[in-house]
A and B are shown apart, each in its own frame.
Chain A
Amino acid sequence: MRAVLVILFLLGLSGVSSGQEADDDPSLYFFNPSELRSSIRHEMGMSVGTHWTKSPMRDVYTSVVDGVAYPEPVFSRAIGIISATYEPRLRLIEYKSDASISLDIPLTLSFSLVDVLSGSRYKYSAEPLTEQELASNIFSKERDGIVGICHVEAGALLSVNLGQGATIENTKTVGWTLSAGYNFVRGPLLMNFFEDYDKADYKSYLGWGTPVARVGIHADKIVVYYMLGITPTRVNYQTGSTFDVQTELTNTYNRLSLSFRIGR
């Protein structure tokens, strides 16, 4: 909803009325599958060390001190070391040669470290507790190593494009893109790379989605993107080790990447 409002707002600013008919105004052009080549822009992108994401809170890690349970948030985290993206961008509506609205589908493969952690960075084990462990006052278990490596992402973003890159005819050197949508993360791809974990235990930790917004600056064939999660959750909790009140920001997404236009 928020994304739609943003798009409508920007349409208003750029002087495009969403109610205009293409036949009435030849300056408006709608996506036509038979002219796919001129309506799709392909980009390849990459980032090195500027890509990390955390899932929404998935569970709680509980430490018990003197009969009091201290729950901490548990979340999945992926740190992209090198991430590569292929992104087709379908221009749905074009306004003259200056502006367009596009549906962008960034598909990312990342060599990353994927882990399931608590707020205090305990390596949370999703292996179910048994009655016997419970009887022995074990309320959460920990792992020795990280859960796995490599993850993939798929997004669906609705973008407003101005200037360079907005349409195939646009010849300006600089352009802007503002996008909003949803991004899905799936990982790790290689799970038992370091340790032998039961994949079934981690089923609910291996994928998540988050609403995102993105800003892109186009300079000729090059685009610099910054994509950010827009619904992070701040979890306040108290640790059982220091009894301090801590804060953990979950459901986050951050990525600064460089993309190149392929073809026109």
Chain B
Amino acid sequence: MNRLKVILPLLVVLLMVGCIRETTLTPYELPDLVKSYIRKVECFDNENALLVASDEGVMLLYGEEQVLYDANIYDELFKVEWSEAEVLYSQSNEIFWIIYDSTFIQMGKNTYDVHYDNTQFFAATQSYFAYALSNEGNLMRLGYWKEFWDQNSGSFYSDYYIGIYEYLGNNNNTWREYQTDITVNSKFLANPNFTVVANGDIILHTNPGYIITAYDDQGATADSVSRSGQGFKFRTATRPHLAASGNLYGMLYQPALLTPVTSMLSVGLTEDPVVEHVFEENCPFPMEHQGAVKLLDWKGDVVRFYVRQYTNSLSSNTDVIGHILEYDLLNDACSITSLSSGELLKWSESIVDVDILGAIVYIGTRDGLLIYDLETDEIDSYLLNLLELKLDQ
């Protein structure tokens, strides 16, 4: 009993003191720029990164870490025409690239750099460019550096020589040029769309296609792959994507509000012919839709698109504000998930841009950024949701 008289209070004290947990609520910069007109939403699902551009600036998200750029301070952001800007992101250096006309903006956690490209390119092809990031996150550009017409060929067409350009971004020289003897015929002249794959090879989704395994000042080492069949009609495929299955995918053109895509192209990396997968043949499209207006992401051979819903407040069904089209290109299986309207968003008219990160659809509207949870089918204000999320810290 005496032992207990000593041990009991001791045990109580130990229990009281030893069980205190600790948590910290950290002040954070409030991204109130997402309350204004949203101009662009770009999610990078595999990298868990997000860029949102509004009239007030740009918000970058790295997981839950946010970085804000106020356009009143970084005034070049006011000049970007976001509907025409291309956004690239590399996880290796956590830098976002915004490419608009001849303006290049690098944005990251501690990086903000603007460069205006004054380089004179070969005049006849100066608008035929394509951009992608290397595995190290450096910006690369493919274009044409020379046109050659062989007067003895009996052809009207020229050969255009592909140049590989690495971004330098200094005041004297924007690009380092690597001239190659890889050519496309002027009959197929188009943007030399390309992607850089994990082993560093550059895959050109042109006609013919090329797999560039090495390049230097002396030229490039590349394998040429002929492309024919249905895909022979195209001169290049935009947004090329090489899946682990070995299939190379792309689109006939970049989808947009007034020019939705209706199909995807697929071909084995070193095979022929190109196959066209027409959405209408496999997808249960709803009645009032405007087509697939944005490619959202890739998961292997499965691609997701945002399908815009045609609605207006006077005559249309107001239960749906849009759709997510999911197409398995290996099996030609397609499904469409409709996004339900809510108090915060009743019609699709005010939607400016949409992208998806995991199960969350980020919806940029004229009135601010909304989030749509695909698991609960609920729409919430991004800012309100953020204020609630802080509880979980």
Q: Report A-chain residues with C-beta under 8 Å of the C-beta of B32.
A: 67, 137
Q: Report A-chain residues with C-beta under 8 Å of the C-beta of B314.
A: none
Contact A72 B25 (CB under 8 A): yes
B8, B20, B387, B388: the one contacting A178 at CB < 8 Å is B8
Q: Report A-chain residues with C-beta under 8 Å of the C-beta of B258.
A: none
**B390 on the A face (CB < 8 A):** yes
Q: Report A-chain residues with C-beta under 8 Å of the C-beta of B393.
A: 71
Interface string of B353-393 (1 = CB under 8 A from A): 00000000000000110000000000001011001101101
Contact A178 B11 (CB under 8 A): yes
A71, A213, A231: the one contacting B12 at CB < 8 Å is A213
**B79 on the A face (CB < 8 A):** no
Q: A137-B32, A232-B21 are in contact. List 17 more A-B contacts (CB 8 A).
A: A13-B3, A60-B388, A60-B390, A67-B30, A69-B390, A71-B390, A129-B384, A131-B344, A131-B368, A176-B4, A213-B16, A230-B19, A231-B21, A235-B25, A236-B23, A236-B24, A240-B27
A59, A68, A180, A249: the one contacting B27 at CB < 8 Å is A68
Residue of B nearest to A3 (CB): B15
Q: A60-B387, A71-B390 are in contact. Are A2 and B24 (CB under 8 A)?
A: no
Q: A69-B28, A134-B383 are in contact. Are A233 and B22 (CB under 8 A)?
A: yes
Q: A60-B391, A131-B367, A135-B35 are in contact. Are A235 and B11 (CB under 8 A)?
A: no
Inter-chain CA distance A139–B383, complex, in Å, is: 9
Contact B35 A237 (CB under 8 A): no
**A101 on the B face (CB < 8 A):** no
**A57 on the B face (CB < 8 A):** yes
**A50 on the B face (CB < 8 A):** no
Contact B23 A68 (CB under 8 A): no
Contact B3 A139 (CB under 8 A): no
A-B contact pairs, 21 of them (CB 8 A): A14-B4, A58-B391, A68-B30, A70-B27, A71-B27, A71-B28, A131-B368, A131-B381, A139-B387, A162-B1, A178-B11, A228-B16, A230-B15, A232-B19, A233-B22, A234-B21, A235-B23, A235-B25, A236-B22, A236-B25, A238-B27
